Structures are given as structure tokens and as C-alpha cells.
Structure 1
């Protein structure tokens, strides 16, 4: 019986050693803060961009060359929840390549590092439809 207890004790000690590393590595483990592994700090968001200036200087990054945008308006920038950049909404009266009015079109622009890097036409469930706009 003594040999069985030694074997069980050895197994429990080995399991304890193996599992003890898991708790120290987990930042959510029930350990004092000094023993928890530190997670990577997220990068701080960049300062809000001047959307009026960005869009005004780079209309071609939002609208196609032949669309002849007029009455261009922008919303305030919002922090992009997927990263450190920003999003904003841009509205303008556009014309098709054959000269027919397309009416008011609204785009969401994605800004990172002080530059517009992407844009997409908004859909009916986008909050751009309820934003307040300022002319550029």
C-alpha cells in the first residue's frame, strides 16, 4: 500500500508542476498581479484627423474622377473599433460618366496615419445616414 501512495503522490506532483505554468502565463488567472503575465499593451489611437482638410485635398481618393462631386460634406471622425485609425462619412452630389445626375451619394472613409486608405458606399443600415455634416 505504501508503494501505491508514493505513485499517486508522484503523479499528482507531476500534474501540479505541469499545470502551474498555465496559471502563471494567463493574464486572467487567479494570481496576485505580480505573478500574472502581462498582455501586450494596445497602441494608443492617433489624434482625430482633420476630415475636412483630408477630403478637400484628396477628393480623388473618395470619388471617381468623372463623378464631378459638388456640395461635398463630411461628418466628424469616429474612432475605428477595429484598429487605431478613424472613420468618417462623406456626402456629395455626383454625376455619372454620361453626365446624368446620380443625386446625393454617401461614402464611409477609413483614415489611418493621416491618410484616406479605403472607402465604401454606405448601405441602409449604416450610421452615416444619421450623422451631422459640415461642408468642406
Structure 2
């Protein structure tokens, strides 16, 4: 914090997850850790806003990466998993690292100078889509 206090318009950008807002089965520790990041983000924004320090978080959904590809490839029917993942996202695609990076750059910039304490969900609409029963 001492270094941030010296910078006018300082901005902290934390990376949480949609699993900090809801949970996939079998992920209690991961979900708890990401919820903690979201809570920490709000607390820092409240405690340090008067010092000109902003703090926000990004909650990504499924983002393509080497790790996510290895996970999909480990599935018995990886082609089916890929198709099902696409159906889960209203935008019809999975996220790219640049999607998260572009939001992080905006949050770190002066263009977002009046934004603090927020958690930005970037998930292609996944958390807004309710599942229907399958017939």
C-alpha cells in the first residue's frame, strides 16, 4: 500500500472467478478462495478509496488456456465436452485470455476512475443462462 499511496489514481485489479459467486460440484476450496478475493476487493475499495486507491476484481468463466485444454483432453469424450461447453455460453464461444486482459487494462486505466469495489463477471453469459430440463 505505501507504493500505491504515492501514485495518484492507483488501481488494483484482482482475479477471482465465477466460482466465487456460484460453485461447481466438488470445488468447495476453490469457490471459497475466489469468494474471499471478491470480499477482499470490496474491503480494500472501502478502506483505501479515500487515499485515491481503487480496487476491482474480474470473475472469469471458462477461458481457453493450456490448463483448460489439458482438462478437456483428459475427458473420455473430449469432443462431447467441447460441444457442451459451447452450448453453455450464450455467445457461442469460450473466453480468450485477451477478453480478460482487455478488461484488466480498462480497470487499471484512468478511463475507469470512478469504478471501485466491483466484481466484473466475464463469462460469455454463462451465469445468466438457466438450464432447461432435457427430454
TM-score by length of 1: 0.21
Determine which structure has greater relative contact order: mean sequence separation of CA pairs < 8 Å that are 6+ residues apart, divided by chain length. Answer: 2
More helix by share: 2
More strand by share: 1
Structure having the higher Rg: 1
TM-score by length of 2: 0.21
